């Protein structure tokens, strides 16, 4: 397993629509394991394939609190089948947009289908933080970032600022990865 560099916005790989996975092979298994390791190391509660430069419809999520047992979900081709009528506001962050937190209103509960890492079809009902995190990660698979919920002016301001900080942020993270391995 290895830690992967996380793509930082603005980057066109974060704006692409990802492709469904046809088969879960050894390469995809390795990618999923690396995504989990990279997410835990960040640390973060979710990571989507475009954030490591892949265009596959794959996300990993673990919203367990510190001190709790790990509760990883590896989801291939996740698809939301039902959204609650009730919406809630939550503050979201993103590993690809460091230190940018945004209040977003989304459905409180969702139902979804996906394939697990063994290619078993699964169905899940989620609410609270798990629902929120899954919705954020599935957005990534369609090239949607949390800043896309803002007005164009606010979004462009944030992305311009990030573009300037990017070389420094990437160097800091590369250094961290080098010391971690
Ligand atoms: Ni994100």
Distances (CA, A) of 108 to 25, 90, 94, 100: 34, 10, 19, 22
The pTM of the full predicted model, rounded to 2 decimals, is 0.96
In the predicted model, residues of the chain with pLDDT beneath 70 are 181
Question: If DSSP codes are grouped into helix, strand and coil, which group holds residue 78?
Answer: strand
* CA 105 / ligand 1 centre spacing (Å): 15
What's the confidence (pLDDT) of residue 181? 65
CB under 5 Å of ion ligand 1: residues? 94
* CA 1 / ligand 1 centre spacing (Å): 22
Q: Which fold has domain 12-180?
A: Peptide Deformylase (3.90.45)
* CA 178 / ligand 1 centre spacing (Å): 23
What's the confidence (pLDDT) of residue 93? 98
Convert the pLDDT of each residue in 63-96 to its tens digit: 998 889 999 999 999 999 999 999 999 999 999 9
What's the confidence (pLDDT) of residue 179? 85
* 137 carries an active-site annotation: yes
* CA 135 / ligand 1 centre spacing (Å): 10
What's the confidence (pLDDT) of residue 15? 97
Burial (Cβ within 10 Å: 0-12, 13-18, ≥19) of residue 47: buried
Set 37, 137, 175, 181: catalytic member: 137
Q: 24 Cβ partners below 8 Å, 6+ apart?
A: 76, 115, 117, 118, 119
CA end-to-end distance (rounded Å), the chain? 10
* CA 21 / ligand 1 centre spacing (Å): 20
Which runs of E-coded beta strand occur in the chain? 46-48, 58-61, 73-83, 87-92, 102-107, 110-115, 121-126
Helix %, strand %, coil % of the chain (to 5): 40, 25, 35
């Amino acid at each position: 397993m290895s830690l992967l560099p996380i793509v930082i916005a603005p980057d066109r790989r974060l704006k692409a629509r990802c492709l469904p996975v046809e088969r879960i092979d050894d390469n995809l298994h390795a990618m999923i394991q690396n995504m989990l390791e990279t997410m835990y190391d960040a640390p973060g509660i979710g990571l989507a394939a475009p954030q490591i430069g892949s265009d596959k419809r794959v996300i990993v999520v673990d919203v367990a609190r510190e001190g709790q047992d790990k509760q990883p979900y590896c989801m291939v081709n996740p698809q939301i089948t039902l959204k609650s009528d009730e919406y809630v506001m939550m503050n979201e962050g993103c590993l690809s947009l460091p230190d940018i937190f945004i209040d977003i209103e989304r459905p409180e509960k969702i139902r979804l289908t996906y394939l697990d890492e063994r290619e078993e079809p699964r169905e899940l009902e989620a609410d609270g933080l798990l629902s929120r995190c899954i919705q954020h990660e599935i957005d990534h698979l369609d090239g949607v970032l949390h800043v896309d919920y803002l007005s164009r002016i606010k979004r462009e301001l944030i992305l311009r600022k990030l573009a300037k900080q990017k070389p420094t942020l990437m160097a800091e993270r590369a250094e961290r990865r080098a010391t971690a391995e």
